[in-house]
Amino acid sequence: MRRMDELLGRVMSVAESQMTVMLEGDGARQEDCRIGSIIKAPANDHAVVGAIAATRLDSNGHAHKILVVDLLGELLRDRDDRVRFNAGVSCYPLSGAPVTIATEADVATVYERPAQSAIRVGTLFHDRERPAYLLVNELLSKHFAILGSSGSGKSCAVTLLLSAILAEHPYAHVVLLDPHDEYAAAFGGIAEIVNVENLQLPLWLFDFEEIARILIHAGNEHEREAQGLILKEAVTRARRHHAGNSRDAMSITVDTPVPFRSSDLLRFLYESMGRLDKPDTALPYLRIKSRLESLRDDPRLAFMFSDFHPDTLSRIAGRILRIPVDRKPLTIVDLSGVPSEITDVVVSLTCRLIFDFTVWSERRRMPPVLLVCEEAQRYAPADERIGFAATTRAITRIAKEGRKYGISLALVSQQPSELSVAAVAQCGTIMAMRLGSDADQQFVARVLPDAAKGMLSALSSLPTRQAIVSGRGVPLPMRIRFDELPAQRRPRSEAAEFSSAWQRDDADARFCDDVVRRWRSQSRQS
């Protein structure tokens, strides 16, 4: 067996965050040159360490093996003669410097559990015995993104990460936007499940842009503009009407979150329409009125249009933000029951509510909040012409300004190339799982730091539950294998097991009746 201090090869060249090594003698032995193995080379009074990223033959095609090594950092001795690891390289090894496989003590120093608050999320992919840790404060204070194709284990990674954080921080405040009702079963009693059946989001809680998105749907651009002016006047009147004759009533604007009845909004539309001189100018009023009346009668939107909603802003915000925590540090906002045409409006409201509540809070008393946005490319797309602009602005604003107010953002996406670059650019930590698309791989290549570039070739073939993690949330870039979740704690994101499901005939006529009953009532309750 090779001694760990025996010569492996020599440095050929060093450029930026990589170096190449020519193996010598029997240095090409496979067990010494596995992808991910740690090597070291001397530089002045310390050793530079790196991870093997690739192997190849020399340019002449001779059987001289070349190692491509990602440089990770330096092993230094402190005043107490204790070896410690520093990420980054201050002094590079010279060409011809000897290269050896790092000792077990060296590797333990590189990957030791950080002194600051850290959580275990898995193991190093090339060493199942060595834990992989994330730095909690660095991860959350600088935002992070989890990117991976469908089936890569992304939802399980989200569950595992949040579970590890919540296990260490029982008074956390986490809000998870769940478009497909995947996560409710994964967190048990520590999660407050918010959905259209148990939460009121009254129309008055939305700002004018969001209300217009809900109520203005018909007509050309000129007609929609006319409807906007009419709606703005009616909403402002409705808000001021609720305030009555108070001194502050006239300071209320169309966006002030003051309660009003949807019936009052209809009444003011009727009154304005009644003052018209020409009947043909009533079309914009009729379109808004017809849309409002149809939505009020839609049972799926009872959470928005059930008159009358008193001033419940404080209670709604407190429930979503878990203030007080009351043994449930996680809020899962289940969006699966929200009609698709207004889902982005509900997301806009939720993000805006979190941001505005935090901005207007007393900083000394307001706890930090983590907002996890699943399917983030739907709400913060790269193409600003897609989706609802207010939703994109709300998420991008949190990405750019949230840290000042104690809001952390986690973007989760299976199509990162379709995600807002402005939002991802604010993420200090990137967890990249398997990505099959060239566009997605190129996107990740642009946002990963140089120190992780050598790992990118593995993106298209990463096994399920593996990720390349780089940025502020880890001591150094690493490829990790996430711990496996027990079956009962996995999100409901697994694909159907066709081969086993088609071996039995469980569905019957009663099953069809149950489905139709749920369909008609827009409820999952039987």
Can you tell me the distance from the alpha carbon of 221 to that of 216, in angstroms, rounded to the nearest whole number? 11
Tell me where in the chain the CATH 2.40.30 domain(s) lie: 7-110
HEC profile of 307-361: CCCCCCHHHHHHHHHCCCCCCCCEEEEECCCCCHHHHHHHHHHHHHHHHHHHHCC
CB contact burial 281-299 (16+ within 10 A = b; e otherwise): eeebbebbbebbeebbeee
For the chain, 526 residues long, give each residue's pLDDT as a single digit of tens.
Answer: 444 567 889 999 998 788 999 988 654 455 667 788 889 999 988 999 998 888 877 766 555 688 989 898 999 988 777 888 988 888 999 999 999 989 889 988 888 888 778 999 999 988 888 999 999 999 999 999 999 998 899 999 999 999 999 999 999 999 999 999 999 989 989 999 999 888 889 999 999 999 999 999 877 888 889 999 999 999 999 999 887 766 677 888 999 998 998 889 999 998 888 776 666 678 888 899 999 999 998 888 889 987 655 778 899 999 999 999 999 999 999 999 899 889 999 999 999 999 999 999 998 899 999 999 999 999 999 987 888 899 999 999 999 999 999 999 999 999 999 999 989 999 999 999 999 889 998 888 888 766 666 677 788 889 999 999 998 999 888 889 999 999 888 898 656 677 777 888 888 778 888 888 877 766 655 4
Question: Tell me, what amino acid is at 389?
Answer: A
Residues 6+ apart with CB under 8 A from 231: 208, 211, 212, 215, 216, 288
Residues 6+ apart with CB under 8 A from 505: none
Can you tell me the distance from the alpha carbon of 346 to that of 362, in angstroms, rounded to the nearest whole number? 26
CB contact burial 185-214 (16+ within 10 A = b; e otherwise): ebbeebbbbbbbeebbbbbbbbbbbbbbbb
Q: CB–CB of 473/142 below 8 Å? A: yes
Residues 6+ apart with CB under 8 A from 399: 143, 380, 409, 411, 422, 423, 426, 427
- Could you please report the per-residue DSSP string of 46-76? EEEEEEEEEEEE-TT--S-EEEEEEEEEEEE
Per the structure block, which two tokens stand in for 65?
Answer: 């093996």
Q: Is the peptide bond before 305 cis (omega within 30 degrees of 0)?
A: no
pLDDT tens per residue, range 27-36: 445 566 778 8
Read off φ and ψ for residue 37, nearest 5 degrees.
Answer: -65, 145
The CATH class, in words, for 131-200+312-487 is alpha beta
The CATH class, in words, for 7-110 is mainly beta
Per the structure block, which two tokens stand in for 108?
Answer: 């333990």
Tell me where in the chain the CATH 3.40.50.300 domain(s) lie: 131-200+312-487
Per the structure block, which two tokens stand in for 450?
Answer: 């140089």
CA–CA–CA angle 89, 91, 94 (5° rounding): 120
